[in-house]
Structure 1
Amino acid sequence: MEPINQVECWGIFELALPPVASVPGGEFAGKVIFSKGSRVREVDAFIDNSGGYRARFMPDEQGEWLYQINSDSVDYKNGYGSGRLYCTVPIEGNHGPVGVINDKDFCYADGTPYYPFGTTCLNGFKREHMESTLASMATAPFNKVRISLDSSLDDFTVLEEVLVRLMELGVQAELLLDCGSGEAQVAAFVQHVVIRLAAYRNIWWSLHLHGEQASLEFNKLEFLRILEEHDPYHHLITIHSSTPEKDYGHRSLTHVSLQGMDPSQVAYYARLHRKPILMEVCGCEGDAPTLWGSLPGQEMVNRVWESICRGGYAGHGEMFIQPNGHSWHYDGGSLQGSAVPRIAFLRRILEEAPLGLRYMPVFYDAATIGCEGEYYLQYFGIHRFPSRELHLPEGRYNVEIIDVWNMTVTAVTGICEQHVTVKLPTLPFHALRIRRWYPQEAKSIKKYDLSLLGSGSTSFTTDARSSEIRDAEQNDNYTTDLSKKDHSQR
């Protein structure tokens, strides 16, 4: 009996294709067909650095898979192109690729929630910067990094090593694909990238389009077609766009990637697109001679908090210019800013929260996410409120004051009833965390139940948001007992 290749679930099975003399020019024209029962995945082959052909496959279901090389070559028709592999249990820390679970949230393929805390390091993983950049990522709170790729890349060896090492760190790699103005050679490069790298479970795609507005829509559709046809795993896709009002309606686009300096946009675009919102570029902590590259650390942290408490996420940026002209944003290396530990603090707070947090516009004067009657995280930003009057659903609550910059959590004395006034320190960059009190610690659910998803659906079949929040989204003048304030004061 032939030996069975083994690969963990969501790992990479790589198949080296033997030379095909009977194909004109020695080129491989065909696909490798992987099947398990009624499930079928078609995988394209690519030319590797040595000039040979390879195919990569990411099995997503445990058990035996069969494969057949589908080609016009007589060599494969004579039976040399078939085999089988066995997909084993994933190792610890392997949760599969990240996907969209509803109009706000992300999760891994096994249902584990994923909260994107990303950074941008466009060229920091080239050979000369790779080791120092990876060392920084290993101690940073970031679980996603944006990397720039363009058609000048001809040796994928370093990039593939980086993807594996980021995978081991639990970091998603968003590849910013420079699509130029839609030139044929650029399209061929993007197609090669997708075929070659799609089997890495930690890949996201981001299209960076150029050119006149009239050609942008055509180019967007063409590159989305390439991704749809050659990525059998349907990794997350977005556009690096300057026209967010109209660019994200295509069904293949899984989330919105914003550029801008104002995190208050997050709630608006979330309502507009009904897709998760990532403010990927909201500025950089640094000393660069630009408006967006010279933020103080407090403002960088403020924008991340504001984005999250308005129902989205925000990416970190850092641009301290070194004597050689390098910076983290462009060249990687070491992180120097004061924002990084504060972002780590926020990540811990969010990961301790229950699932299903939603933006709550009824709290009109402070950005708030929560689960009604269970949990609220309210951020005050630059405002220095002396106190907050809370009108919560019936029950008892633990209330804590969070000092965002000094990274402290101070409990308000005693268990609070639904109507309470909380005294605040009259300082900027503070938040409130309010959690329903239970006599015994409640067990929180830390995985999404993927059985609640319909076939091919990317959202829950039941809406976890309260009717009050849905009504408030549809009518800005709607008020509830959660806030007695008049919305006309906005």
Structure 2
Amino acid sequence: MGKENNERYVRYLIARLSAYRNVWWSLANEWDVPRIKNEVDWNGIGTLLQMEDPHQRLRGIHNWYYADSHFFDHSRPWVTHVSAQTFFFFNAIEWRGKYNKPLLFDEMRYEGDVSSSWGNMNAKDMTSYFWKAGLSGGYGTHGDTFRNDSDDETEVRWWAKGGTLPGKSPERIAYFKKVMEEAPVTEMKPRLVKLSSRSVPADISDKIDRKIIDELNNNIYVFSKEAEHYLAYTEDAGRTIEVDLPGGKQYQLEVMDTWNMNVLREETVPPGKFSLETSRPYTAIRLVAQPAPASSQ
């Protein structure tokens, strides 16, 4: 359209849409598609939004390829959050430190039954992605891609039209959300306990074997506010979760089955070295410091 028409159109969109409180600005769906990558003044458009949107809605720009070599420069002042189409959770702590902005795993694959790998996750793996994303300090986003019509011309998937999510992960994502809402998440920091000896390849890209990515992602994820609130998650049985609990108080332990959405075990544990071996897959734990008993007069 050219620079002048682009800016005119963006100003029109701001005037028409910015007053709606549910609006987020995403400058591109997959900005790094080679055909358009260098043809658009992304920074110019982003800066225009920043300068002229009176409501200062969130602003991001979304990549296609999963590796961060294809990320936009999210350190730009007009970018409010990292919109990353990726499921490389093992890199989340690095990206949080690099950009110092909220990290969204935007399109981290879909629960569905299409032939493409990005849209054929089962519900257990989809739910697990949310625990990994959240406890690595990021925010997962969700959609599904179940086929609902044999005719490609008339088929309508949720990700295109909305409606009722037919998958089995949404209620379990809601359970995860509740756990996070009960935690002081803005004061918590992520820690990754690597279970694989494999190092991240220097030339990591979308062409890397999916099994390698799964191995790199298969860790113990710990998210905590020291001496107050701890969450930990691993998707395998037989893994040992360890947390150092500062002294001076007791901690309330909950062992959660994230798939069945229930508490398997609840007890009070003393300070010191806490250790628990998971007896089933998709296990999370929560440790919350308890108030010290009132001293007797």
Aligned to 2:89, which of 258, 263, 280?
263
Partner of 2:265: 411
Write the distance in 2 (CA, Å) between the matches of 1:371 and 1:429.
Answer: 22
- How far does residue 368 in structure 1 lie from its aligned partner after superposition? 1.2
- How far does residue 245 in structure 1 lie from its aligned partner after superposition? 4.2
Q: Is 2:102 the counterpart of 1:276?
A: yes
Distance change (3 Å), C-alpha of 1:387 and 1:261? closer
- How far does residue 246 in structure 1 lie from its aligned partner after superposition? 4.5
Distance change (3 Å), C-alpha of 1:233 and 1:386? closer
- How far does residue 363 in structure 1 lie from its aligned partner after superposition? 4.4
- Secondary structure of the residue aligned to 1:361 is strand
- How far does residue 386 in structure 1 lie from its aligned partner after superposition? 5.0
Q: Is 2:10 the counterpart of 1:190?
A: yes
Listed as ranges, the matches of 1:91-490 within 5 Å are 184-208=4-28, 209=31, 211-216=35-40, 219-242=41-64, 245-323=71-149, 324-361=154-191, 363-364=193-194, 365-381=219-235, 383-394=236-247, 395-425=249-279, 427-439=280-292
Partner of 2:212: none
Write the distance in 1 (CA, Å) between the matches of 2:173 and 2:271.
Answer: 31
- How far does residue 423 in structure 1 lie from its aligned partner after superposition? 4.3
* Structure 1 length-normalised TM: 0.49
* Structure 2 length-normalised TM: 0.78
Q: Deviations over 1:451-487 (max 9, x none)?
A: xxxxxxxxxxxxxxxxxxxxxxxxxxxxxxxxxxxxx
**Contact 1:356-1:371 at 8 Å conserved across structures:** no
- How far does residue 393 in structure 1 lie from its aligned partner after superposition? 1.4
Write the distance in 2 (CA, Å) between the matches of 1:182 and 1:315.
Answer: 33
Sequence identity, in percent? 27
**Contact 2:63-2:71 at 8 Å conserved across structures:** no
- How far does residue 439 in structure 1 lie from its aligned partner after superposition? 4.6
**Contact 2:192-2:220 at 8 Å conserved across structures:** no
**Contact 1:388-1:422 at 8 Å conserved across structures:** yes
**AA in 1 matched with 2:47:** R
Distance change (3 Å), C-alpha of 1:298 and 1:357? farther
Write the distance in 2 (CA, Å) between the matches of 1:254 and 1:268.
Answer: 18
Distance change (3 Å), C-alpha of 1:392 and 1:182? farther
Structure with higher Rg: it is 1
**Contact 2:232-2:241 at 8 Å conserved across structures:** no
Q: For structure 1, which runs of at least 5 residues remain unmatched after alignment?
A: 1-180, 442-490
**Contact 1:255-1:278 at 8 Å conserved across structures:** yes
Write the distance in 2 (CA, Å) between the matches of 1:290 and 1:284.
Answer: 10
**AA in 1 matched with 2:141:** G
- How far does residue 353 in structure 1 lie from its aligned partner after superposition? 1.0
Q: Deviations over 1:93-126 (max 9, x none)?
A: xxxxxxxxxxxxxxxxxxxxxxxxxxxxxxxxxx
Distance change (3 Å), C-alpha of 1:250 and 1:414? closer
Distance change (3 Å), C-alpha of 1:261 and 1:413? closer
- How far does residue 312 in structure 1 lie from its aligned partner after superposition? 0.6
- How far does residue 357 in structure 1 lie from its aligned partner after superposition? 3.7
Q: How many residues in Structure 1 have an aligned counterpart in Structure 2?
A: 257
- How far does residue 355 in structure 1 lie from its aligned partner after superposition? 4.5
**Contact 2:250-2:268 at 8 Å conserved across structures:** no
Larger relative helix fraction: 2
- Secondary structure of the residue aligned to 2:89 is coil
Write the distance in 2 (CA, Å) between the matches of 1:322 and 1:184.
Answer: 42
- How far does residue 326 in structure 1 lie from its aligned partner after superposition? 1.2
- How far does residue 367 in structure 1 lie from its aligned partner after superposition? 1.0
Distance change (3 Å), C-alpha of 1:224 and 1:263? same
- Secondary structure of the residue aligned to 2:264 is strand
**Contact 1:360-1:369 at 8 Å conserved across structures:** yes
- How far does residue 417 in structure 1 lie from its aligned partner after superposition? 2.7
**Contact 2:110-2:119 at 8 Å conserved across structures:** yes
Write the distance in 2 (CA, Å) between the matches of 1:317 and 1:182.
Answer: 33
**Contact 1:204-1:237 at 8 Å conserved across structures:** yes
Q: For structure 2, which runs of at least 5 residues remain unmatched after alignment?
A: 195-218
**Contact 1:287-1:294 at 8 Å conserved across structures:** yes
**AA in 1 matched with 2:140:** A
- Secondary structure of the residue aligned to 1:249 is coil
Supply the RMSD in Å over aligned alpha carbons. 2.4
- How far does residue 404 in structure 1 lie from its aligned partner after superposition? 0.7
Distance change (3 Å), C-alpha of 1:363 and 1:201? same
